[in-house]
Structure formats: C-alpha cells, structure tokens
A and B are shown apart, each in its own frame.
Chain A
Amino acid sequence: MTKYITKRVVYMFLSLFLIASFTFILMKLLPGSPLASAAKLSVEQREVVYEKYGLNDPIPVQYVRYMGNLVQGDFGTSFQYKNVDVSYLIVKKLKYSAILGAQAIFVGTIIGIILGMIAALKQNTIWDYGSTIVAILGISIPSFVFAALLQYVFAVHWQILPVGLWDGWTSSILPSIALAMGPIAIAARFIRTEMIEVLSSDYIMLAKAKGANWFEIAFKHAFRNALIPLVTVLGPVAAGLLTGSLVVEQIFAIPGIGEQFVKSINSNDFSVIMGTTMFFSVFLIVIILIVDILYGIIDPRIRLAGGDK
C-alpha cells in the first residue's frame, strides 16, 4: 500500500510539473500583457516595470526562474493588486469557494443517492421517471442557468435570500444549490444503475432465499454494494464543481477563487493565473488520489488484496 501511494505521489508531481510548464508556455503565447489596460503609462515607465518583473528576459530564462520559485512554494506577486502575494490571495479567497464546494458536494451527493435509490427501488414507476427527469435536467442544464434562475426566483422575486456578494452563510445558499445540481444528477444516475445491477445479482437472490424482506435486501445487502463504486465518480464531480464555480461565483459575485481566476484572466494577471491554475490542479489530483485510496479502504476486496501483498 505505501509503495502504491509513493508511486502515485511521484506521478502527481510529474503531472503538476507538466501542467505548470504547459500553462506557462500557453500564457506566453497569448497576446496582451498585465499592463495592456494601463494606457496612461509612458513607454519608459512600461520598460521600467517590464525590467523589474523580468519580463524582458528571454522566455526560457523566465521559465526557469518561475519554475525555480514555484518549487520553493513562491507563486510570485499579483500584478493587479499592489504587492500582494499570490499564495496569500489564494488562501484568502479559498474559504468562500470551499464553503460553496463542500456544501454542494455533500448535499448534492446525498440528495442524488436518495433520488437514485427511489428510482431503482421503484423502477419503471412515476417515481423512477421523476427522478430520471431531475437527473437529466441536472446534467444537461449548465449551472449558470440554475444560478440565474435561483437568483431571480429567491433573491429578486421573493427576496428571501441575498442576490450576491458575501454577507454571511445565507449568501452561500443559492450558489451552493446551483452548484449541487451536477452532483445530484451524477449521483442519482450512478446509484440507480448500480442498484439495479446489484439487485439482479445472485447474492441478492440468495438473500431473498434466506427470507430477507425488501428493506433488508435494499439496505443491508444492496445499498453498500451500490454505494462503494460511487466513490469513483467523486473525482469527476469535483472537477465539475470547479468549472461550475468559475461561473457561479461570477454570477453571485462571491469573492472566491473561481471569481478571482476569471478576473485575473481579464486583466492578464499572469502570476495569479498561474497560481490559481496550479491550485486547481493540485486540488483535482489530490482528490483523485484520495478517491483511489478511499476506494481501497471501503471495498474489502481491494483492501485485502493490497494488504496481503
């Protein structure tokens, strides 16, 4: 197991290195500069700034310097905010995004599991169709549509929740719901398929032959077996939340990382774009690693296969 994890961690750093290099090159290929909007600067002033930040050096030199700093955990400073460390910026904004993301994934997955269970246990009834429709809507409608809809209904029309900005926990409710639609849909569809497959398996037949009633069949025997593989979709779900948050935070003007990322792209804030990209990458890669390890822990077949060797 430790050997496996070590190997995974090595791969993780390799991926991060590639992502950092690739993003760096892309950034340099893009037109525009952090100072493009600062039209008032004279050519000389511009030169001074470029010199100060090393932007006049050949790109390979910039690359080596940037990567060197990165390895030491230095993301550089922002161009749009004066003398603000990128890492400080990320940590400050992380809180809001983390609250939204955690709420969305937690509530979304639970609701999704419930919907999926109902659909599987009441297969081909109105319950099943209802929950399938919810799932299809959740997958096919982008979260910003939900965001706008929720904003209109709850904040503008009924005025029971804030329209936007961060003003305590109530501000997180609507964006979290908008973000949760994806996890709800994915979990519901996944659990439905898994449950139906598990319910038709031999060991469920044997459980019935032992005299189990439908409740024991569904919850003592089938549920755990259907639930375990759900862990594997948590990776894609987290990725979906991440991209969703870019837009949803924008719509609700939540001062989170997603919003910051979009802002930095608009202002060509090179070091913040690099920093947030790296942060997102680390986040996703770590989630996927955790998911794999978790899967090994909760599935006895994998757990022991790993433990024996």
Chain B
Amino acid sequence: MEKVIEVKNLELSFHTFAGEVKAIRGVNFEVNKGETLAIVGESGSGKSVTTKSIMRLLPESSTEFKNGEILFGGKDLLKISEKEMQKVRGKDISMIFQDPMTSLNPTMPIGRQIMEPLLKHQKLSKADARKKSIELLGLVGMPKPELRMKQYPHQFSGGQRQRIVIAVALACNPKLLIADEPTTALDVTIQGQILELMKDLQQKIDTSIIFITHDLGVVANVADRVAVMYGGQIVEVGTVDEIFYNPQHPYTWGLLSSMPSLDAAEDKLYAIPGTPPDLLAPPKGDAFALRSEYALKIDLEQTPPMFKVSDTHYAATWLLHPDAPQVDPPVGIVERMKTFPGSRYYTGNAGGAN
C-alpha cells in the first residue's frame, strides 16, 4: 500500500520554566493512501503535538526536535526550509482544529478566508477562486453559498463554521487532512452531521485523514486504523476491529471500558484511576504501569517494545512477551474478544473460552 506520510521515531521536548517537557517520546506511525487513521488517547497524551509537528506549527522558540523524521512526498518535513514548508501547508497537508468558534478570523469575510489558499497555492484568478469557493461551500453543505461569501464568522453557527473550516482545508485537494478533535466542541447532533460530511468528502476527493479524538465512540464511525496514544507514545496500533475486539494493552482496555455503551445497564461509568504521567519526569518502563492493575515487575523497569499481534496489529505491553503470565482482561473486554476470530477467547465455532 502506498504510504502518504511516515513518522519515524519522533521525539520532541518543550523547554519551559518548569523544565524540559518530554511531550513526544518515540512515536512511529504511517498513514496509507485514502485511509483514515484515528489517534486516540486522554487529553495531554500528545495527540495535538504530534500532528502540529507534522505541520511544523509548534512554537519555534521552545520546541526541540530531538530525534526522528517525518517523511512526506520523499522529503523529511523536519529538514525542509520554512519557505518550502509554507508550500506544503494548506496545499498538500491541511488541518482542521477543535474549536470552530475561534478558528476563523473574526474580521475577515469567510469567502476571503476560503479563497486565500486557492489564490496562494493554485494561483487562481480572483474570479476563479471565488467560483471555486462557492462550489466548496456548497460541497460542505452550506445553503445559498454565494450569498454567504461576504458574511463574517459570527454570522454562522458552530456547526456551520466547522463546515467552513472544512471547506478551507479541502480547498486545494490535500493529500493529507489532519482533523484535531473536529467535533469535540460541537453538540452531539451536529457532531454526527460533521462526521458524516467528513466521511462523505473523503470518498469524493480521496484524501487520507489523521483523525484525532479522545472519544472512542467516534472512532468506530470514521477510522480504518487506530493508534492509541499514552504519555507521548503510541502504545497500541491496529485496525478498528483489532483495537475494538482484540485489544492487548491495559490502557486500551481502560479506554474501551470507560466508553459509554447503549446496552450497558449500569449508570456508573468506568474511569481509569489515577492521572496521566508527568512529562517533566516521565516514569521509567511502561508509563501506564502505575495506573494499571495488570502491571508486571518489569513494567516499572524497562520500556516494552512493540510486540506484533498480527501484520497490522502491534502493542507495547510486556503482557505479550512469551514469558509473561496469562492474565484475563476485564470482563467487558473478554466479552468483546469472544466475537473476534483470532483472539484467544474467540467462541465463534469452537465455543467455550479457555
């Protein structure tokens, strides 16, 4: 499969007054052509920083890239000049942010904001850029687009503004679209509409998407593959089915268990105990060990490597080591695993878990 982008061994720190914040500690992933990769994890796990480093949008003065490369179109984005990077941003890679209420310029008509990347990257004439912008607004489902070109952001609702931001992002048919929690700030019904729109558009323009969220419920809906992030590292990666029905990392178990489900009778939601690690002084070994009831002794001493579960599924937990003791995941997770062919609890034809 053709890789659109490949992040290799990314390690970066912020230098702050409190000290060095080791925000990203060795991240590897790739996004294939036409697929949607979801990155999930609690807030503070480094999802935004990872994607902002792809776009090189982090504050230059305090960010230190310590290691790694970001390969895109045969180039390492961390090595090219700022000028070259400006040609990538908005053209080959574009971005949608979390809060549509603040991501549009309040004193610029929205038409001009959509036209901007068209004028800049595609060198369209003003009239053509206008025409294309109206088309884009129609594409993202804005009624009467030509009348709304001259209006300012405050004249639109949150959902409409996010549609405008999506129109801006898609203006130049990017190869990669990064959506950083694009629905988190919206209410539930609007969330659904925006997700539908994104799925719909992805089919139409054939772009790859990195979809960031802390809400696993959204993931099942949009993603092909999922990367679970914790404490500046990716702890498990696999297809949606693998992550939902054959999860291996205790952190993924925790995330899945804390997902509200419609058929769950109990009204109390599970919450992962404890707090995310302090990235000023990240713990030794498996960063999740201190919050995990499944932690082994070695978890506190040595960082687990990525163990292979299948060709598409990897997880960084010592539980996958051949010498590790057999432990049973939480009941809810076992229930899920029973339906997944290839999991050790699969009951599909043989019946009976071992």
Contact = CB atoms under 8 A, between A and B. Distances in A.
A304 B154 contact: yes
Interface in B100-147: 102-108, 116-117, 120-121
A189 to B, nearest CB: 22
A135 B106 CA distance: 29
Given A206-B95, A209-B57, A210-B116, A301 B106 contact: yes
Interface in A200-252: 201-203, 205-213, 220-221, 224-225, 228
A215 to B, nearest CB: 11
Contacts of B88: 211
A299 B107 CA distance: 7
B95 A209 contact: yes
Contacts of B116: 207, 210, 212
B21 to A, nearest CB: 18
Interface in B73-109: 83, 86-91, 94-95, 97, 99, 102-108
A225 B152 CA distance: 13
B168 interface: yes
Nearest to A202: B102
Contact of B91 (A203, A206, A211): A211
A263 B67 CA distance: 74
A308 to B, nearest CB: 9
Given A202-B97, A301-B106, A210 B152 contact: no
B89 A203 contact: no
B105 A225 contact: yes
A300 interface: yes
Q: Is the interface of B mostly helix, strand, loop or mixed?
A: mixed
B157 interface: no
A299 B86 CA distance: 30
B152 A213 contact: no
A207 B105 CA distance: 8
B105 A203 contact: yes
Contacts of B154: 300-301, 304-305
A228 B86 contact: no
Interface SS of chain A = helix
B89 A209 contact: yes
Contacts of A304: 152, 154-155
Contacts, number: 74
B107 A225 contact: yes
B10 interface: no
A205, A209, A212, A301 — most chain B CB neighbours (10 Å)? A209
A300 B107 CA distance: 6
A212 B120 CA distance: 8
Interface residues of B, number: 29
A213 B105 contact: no
- Which of A201, A205, A210, A221 has the largest number of chain B CB atoms within 10 A? A210
A206 B120 contact: no
B152 to A, nearest CB: 4
B90 A209 contact: yes
Contacts of A207: 105, 116
A205 B86 contact: no
B166 to A, nearest CB: 12
Q: Which among A211, A299, A301 has the greatest number of chain B C-beta atoms within 10 A?
A: A211
B55 interface: yes
Given A205-B57, A300-B154, A210 B105 contact: no
Given A211-B91, A304-B155, A206 B55 contact: no
B4 interface: no
A189 B103 CA distance: 26
Contacts of A228: 107
A202 B152 contact: no
A220 to B, nearest CB: 8
B152 A211 contact: no
A200 to B, nearest CB: 9
B219 interface: no
Contact of A301 (B57, B91, B121, B152): B152
Interface in B51-68: 55, 57
Given A206-B165, A211-B120, A300-B106, 8 more contacts: A202-B97, A203-B103, A203-B105, A209-B95, A211-B91, A211-B121, A221-B105, A221-B108
Interface of A: 201-203, 205-213, 220-221, 224-225, 228, 299-301, 304-305
Interface of B: 55, 57, 83, 86-91, 94-95, 97, 99, 102-108, 116-117, 120-121, 152, 154-155, 165, 168
Nearest 3 interchain pairs by C-beta: A211-B90, A210-B90, A202-B102
